[in-house]
Amino acid sequence: MGRKWISAMVCLNLAAWSAAGAQSGAPRGTLVVVNGKDGTVSLVDLGSRAITATIPVGDVPREVALSPDGRWAVVTNYGGARTAGATLSVIDVSSGTLERTVQLGVHRRPHGIAWLANGTVLVLSETDSALVTLDASTWMVTGSMPSGPGAPYLLAVDRDGARAFVTNVTASMVTAVDVAGRRVLASASVPKSSDGVAVRPGSDEVWVTSPQSDMITVLGAADLKTRGLIRSGEYPVRVRFTPDGAQALAVFAKSSEVRLFDAGSRKEAGSIAMKVPAAALHGGKEAEGYESHTVPLGLELSPDGGWAFVTLGGVDAVAVVSLRTREIASLIFVGREPDGVAYSPLVRSPSE
């Protein structure tokens, strides 16, 4: 079978794939995708599957959080091997522009981030093991507090924003922090390494992934005592819940898949392979079969819980995944090595 024929057929299939996704009820809005290697952020219009803006930010950006109304995105600039980052980039999603760069001073290597309903932004600083608070109305640092032992990585907050749950990656621990009281409430060990963390809606559970152990740990939010262990897939990183808390999703970077779990029983309920046609990859690669090592990293869910948005760091793309059909509905190529991703309900058409 000739390579040109394969390439033409794959292009046709991808076009049909994208059109099907656009017509199948995926929410309108904008994806904010952090491209770690390029030092940029891509704004993607979900209706057209087109990139509407590419915005330079800092060196090696990692994670992104959105304001409650979806207008503002704030990105952590982690920094490269030689120079530790110490800034945040604030993006106006409506205009597709960089609004400002925020200096964090002594707080370096920012990684995990969350935007609370009261206008407080929480940022983890790896170098000083701190949870830093900022006022989003002024973008001034308002304080910091310990984030537990080891290097803090990612965080999740409870429903009212009173407690933050921090993964301490080098210590293989999880720490609960009282945000208002600026103090550590408890820390608990998990299997080797700790990465993604999520609070299950409507419950008192916190789920934590341990990539180097291929495990997910279920903890009690009040005391961080282990309630269950789930062994599944290779190298679990991010974890998220559907809005009703009934189902958990986790991405597995080595086995290149998304797995679904019944949150109540903690049993696996299905898996979705993150595979793409090899001929569709950047750089003109053409081959029969499928590229299976796509390295899924970032994970976001639509507000209705029907769609997942998964960054594929190995192939420089974001997958729009239907949780109803459990298939990739469309694939959108963005910048190099995309990582964090967030959803905004704001619509920016390609003409803007």
Does residue 317 belong to any structural domain of this protein? no
User: Stretch 84-93: mean pLDDT, rounded?
Assistant: 97
Q: How would you class 149 by CB atoms within 10 Å of its CB: exposed for 0-12, middle for 13-18, buried for 19 or more? A: middle
Does residue 22 belong to any structural domain of this protein? no
Please write down the HEC assignment for all residues of 236-304.
EEEEEECCCCCEEEEEECCCCEEEEEECCCCEEEEEEECCEEHHHCCCCCCCCCEECCCCEEEEEECCC
Whole-number pLDDT of residue 352: 61
User: 269-286, pLDDT tens digit by residue?
Assistant: 999 999 887 766 655 444
Contact 202, 244 (CB under 8 A): yes
Does residue 314 belong to any structural domain of this protein? no
User: 9-63, pLDDT tens digit by residue?
Assistant: 333 344 444 444 444 577 899 999 999 999 999 999 999 999 999 999 999 999 9
Alpha-carbon distance of 93 to 201, in angstroms, equals 27
Does residue 318 belong to any structural domain of this protein? no
Give the CB-side neighbour count of residue 72, counting CA atoms within 13 A: 18
Alpha-carbon distance of 274 to 255, in angstroms, equals 9
Whole-number pLDDT of residue 107: 97
Which phi and psi (to 5°) does residue 188 adopt? Answer: -145, 145
Tell me how far CA of residue 225 lies from CA of 47, 190, 221, 233, in angstroms: 43, 10, 8, 24
What's the pTM? Answer: 0.91
CATH label of the domain that carries residue 205: 2.130.10.10
User: 217-251, pLDDT tens digit by residue?
Assistant: 999 999 999 999 999 899 999 999 999 999 999 99
Query: Domain of 235?
Result: 3-16+28-306+336-344
Does residue 287 belong to any structural domain of this protein? yes
Q: What is the total count of domains within the chain?
A: 1
SS3 category, 146: strand
Q: Among candidates 22, 25, 20, 52, which has minimal Cα distance to 347?
A: 52
Rounded percentage of the chain residues whose pLDDT exceeds 90: 84
